[in-house]
């Protein structure tokens, strides 16, 4: 733990670490607005404008002084922001091009100025320190500057949060509410200059922009309310900052690149593991959907076999074409869910399993009917689509489709469409002897309605079952003595509610 020792005992090291924490906070916090206002390039521009500011301060003051550098750089930053806006409004140049023109020019002047100072003024200024930061270079004055900037920025955001939020979310609306959006813009530019100049020693000119945009972008992946985005971004910025400094000390490299690498790794982690939109969760959802589909296919094929009076397990495996591992998996899963029973090589669906399988068949055949009747597709085109949608369509959608199609009884291939399997629906055939039931208002077809009408069975009239057999079912209206007998097939078509 050499580095820990260094950070605790060496003044230059703990100064650098403190600076990195503060710089991380302020850049992270401000960066949220930079990202949401799509000003990443402007952030980059302001940071590059620091260099001519340093030169200007040197020329005016005639020597090396941290505070004059700070003031000079902030002025240069504001001049850059103003110049960019001026070009954007007065010259027909595209706005991002305007940013590029101004900041490369400022940077060029700065680079030339600094080499001029080092060569002719007898002061050693290392361009590399300005570009990438220098852990050894954080003085006590620098720490003061960083501290004051951090406090100013945090207070500024708290006090003007309302203005910043409104003008960032909807600039025009904010303007109609009397919020001085132009001043808000320049206020943000001023804060941004503070942040960028303060970060100079820690990350350097080139990579400040990563402290501005990467933590904010990371936070935006993880949460969706502005105050928590700001808070989280500050935390990510400061932690990455201090980890970066440690890495820079351990590997004896410049701190800027180390911090940027840490920030980017954190960002990539968020992109993969974000709970709402991360790759991992999306992959997992897709995986789960696939497995659900395969399990449902397992039940459906078992139903088909059972209907053909076939019960051999190995036939099912053959038909599904799953690998042995997954076949075994689904078999065990189905047993645990009590959807199948297995005796030796004989597999059979339980009533629950049958219900689940029929639900799929209903979805499949209803969807095929929908595609043919409503969308006018031909019979050859529909099967594959239905194979996919049978797993995706919810009960609600299916009921709607069912209603829209007028409760069809057979699908385009001539196969019967199973009735809805659960919910408040029962058919007359589901009711046992001596049980009461109400005739439902929703019947599957006009034919059934007419049929009921003939027997004076109005919606909501209550009936009681008298006798049931394999072929027929007898019942009477409550309060009547006349016994009505329907055959089984008809009884299965009539919807009732249990009384």
Query: Interface residues with other proteins (CB under 8 A)?
Result: 36, 159, 162, 165-166, 168-170, 172-179, 220, 223-226, 228-229
| Closer Cβ to other proteins, 59 or 177, answer by number | 177
Nearest approach, Cβ of 218 to other proteins (angstroms)? 13
Torsion angle (degrees, nearest 10) of CA 86, 91, 92, 98: -50
Q: Which is nearer to other proteins, 45 or 226 (CB)?
A: 226
What is the helix (H) or strand (E) element at residue 347, kind and residue range?
strand 346-349
Residue among 158 and 343 whose Cβ is closer to other proteins: 158
| Least distance between other proteins and beta carbon 79 (Å) | 25
Q: In this structure, are residues 302 and 295 in contact, taking their beta carbons and an 8 Å threshold? A: no
User: Please, which residue, 169 or 447, has the CB nearer to other proteins?
Assistant: 169
Nearer to other proteins, 173 or 458 (CB): 173
Q: Which residue, 1 or 172, is less far from other proteins as judged by CB? A: 172
Q: How far is the CB of 373 from other proteins (least distance, A)?
A: 23
Q: How far is the CB of 85 from other proteins (least distance, A)?
A: 16
Our CA dihedral for 254, 255, 257, 262, rounded to 10 degrees, sits at 140
Considering the complex, state which of residue 32 and residue 106 has its C-beta at the smaller distance from other proteins: 32
In whole angstroms, what is the distance from residue 402 CA to residue 359 CA?
13
Work out the angle between the directed axes of helices 66-90 and 50-61 (0-180°, nearest 10).
Answer: 130
Residue 37 or residue 319: which is nearer to other proteins going by CB? 37
CB of 102 to other proteins, least distance (A): 23
Residue with tokens 């797993």: 391
The span from the CA of 249 to the CA of 243, in Å, is 10
Write the CA distances from 414 to 59, 182, 370, 384, 490, integer angstroms.
Answer: 92, 69, 14, 17, 18
Q: Distance (Å, rounded) from C-alpha 334 to C-alpha 340?
A: 6
Q: Smallest distance, Å, CB 165 to other proteins?
A: 7
Backbone angles phi, psi at 417, to 5 degrees: -90, 120
Which helix (H) or strand (E) segment is 204 a member of?
Answer: none
In terms of CB distance, is 5 or 224 closer to other proteins? Answer: 224
In the complex, least distance from residue 232 CB atom to other proteins, rounded to whole angstroms:
10
The minimum distance between CB 397 and other proteins, in angstroms, equals 16
Give the residue among 84, 60, 81 at the shortest CA–CA distance from 71. Answer: 60
Nearest residue to 46 via CA among 58, 34, 57, 55: 34
Q: How far apart are CA 58 and CA 70, in angstroms?
A: 11
Strand order in the sheet with 426-427: 426-427, 495-498, 436-439, 462-468, 472-477, 483-487
What is the smallest separation between the CB atom of 208 and other proteins, expressed in angstroms? 23
């Amino acid at each position: 733990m050499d580095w820990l020792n260094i950070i605790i005992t060496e003044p230059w090291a703990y100064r650098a670490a403190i600076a990195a924490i503060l710089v991380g906070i302020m850049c992270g916090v401000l960066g949220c607005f930079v990202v949401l206002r799509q000003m990443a390039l402007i952030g980059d521009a302001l940071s590059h404008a620091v260099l001519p500011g340093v030169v200007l301060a040197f020329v005016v003051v005639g020597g090396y002084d941290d505070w004059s550098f700070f003031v000079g750089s902030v002025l240069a930053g504001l001049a850059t922001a103003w110049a960019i806006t001026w070009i954007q409004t007065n010259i027909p140049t595209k706005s991002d091009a305007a940013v590029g023109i101004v900041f490369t020019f400022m940077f060029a002047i700065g680079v030339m100025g600094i080499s001029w100072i080092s060569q002719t003024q007898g002061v050693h200024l290392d361009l590399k320190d300005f570009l990438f930061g220098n852990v050894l270079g954080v003085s006590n004055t620098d720490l003061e500057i960083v501290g004051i900037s951090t406090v100013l920025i945090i207070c500024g955001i708290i006090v003007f949060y309302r203005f910043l939020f409104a003008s960032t979310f909807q600039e025009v609306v904010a303007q109609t509410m009397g919020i001085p959006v132009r001043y808000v813009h320049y206020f943000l530019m001023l804060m941004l200059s503070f942040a960028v100049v303060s970060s100079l020693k820690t990350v350097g000119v080139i990579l400040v922009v990563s402290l501005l945009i990467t933590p904010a972008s990371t936070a935006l992946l993880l949460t969706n309310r502005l105050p928590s985005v700001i808070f989280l971004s500050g935390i990510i910025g400061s932690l990455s900052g201090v980890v970066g400094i440690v890495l820079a000390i351990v590997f004896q490299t410049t701190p800027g690149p180390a911090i940027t690498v840490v920030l980017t790794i954190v960002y990539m982690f968020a992109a993969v593991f974000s709970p709402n939109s991360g790759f991992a969760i999306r992959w997992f959802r897709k995986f789960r959907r696939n497995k659900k589909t395969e399990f449902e296919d397992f039940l459906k094929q078992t139903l088909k076999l059972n209907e053909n009076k076939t019960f051999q397990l190995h036939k099912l495996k053959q038909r599904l074409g799953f690998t042995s591992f997954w076949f075994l998996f689904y078999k065990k899963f189905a047993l645990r869910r009590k959807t199948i029973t297995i005796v030796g090589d004989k597999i059979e669906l339980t009533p629950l399993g049958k219900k689940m399988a029929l639900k799929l068949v209903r979805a499949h055949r209803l969807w095929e009917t929908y595609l043919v009747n409503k969308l006018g597709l031909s019979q050859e085109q529909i099967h594959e689509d239905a194979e996919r949608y049978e797993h995706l369509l919810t009960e609600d959608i299916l009921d709607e489709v069912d209603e829209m199609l007028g409760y069809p009884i057979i699908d385009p291939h001539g196969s019967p469409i199973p009735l809805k399997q659960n919910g408040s629906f029962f058919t007359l055939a589901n009711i046992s002897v001596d049980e009461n039931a109400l005739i439902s208002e929703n019947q599957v077809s006009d034919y059934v309605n007419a049929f009921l009408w003939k027997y004076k069975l109005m919606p909501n009239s209550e009936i009681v079952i008298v006798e049931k057999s394999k072929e027929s079912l007898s019942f009477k209206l409550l309060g009547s003595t006349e016994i009505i007998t329907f055959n089984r097939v008809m009884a299965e078509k009539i919807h009732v509610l249990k009384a």
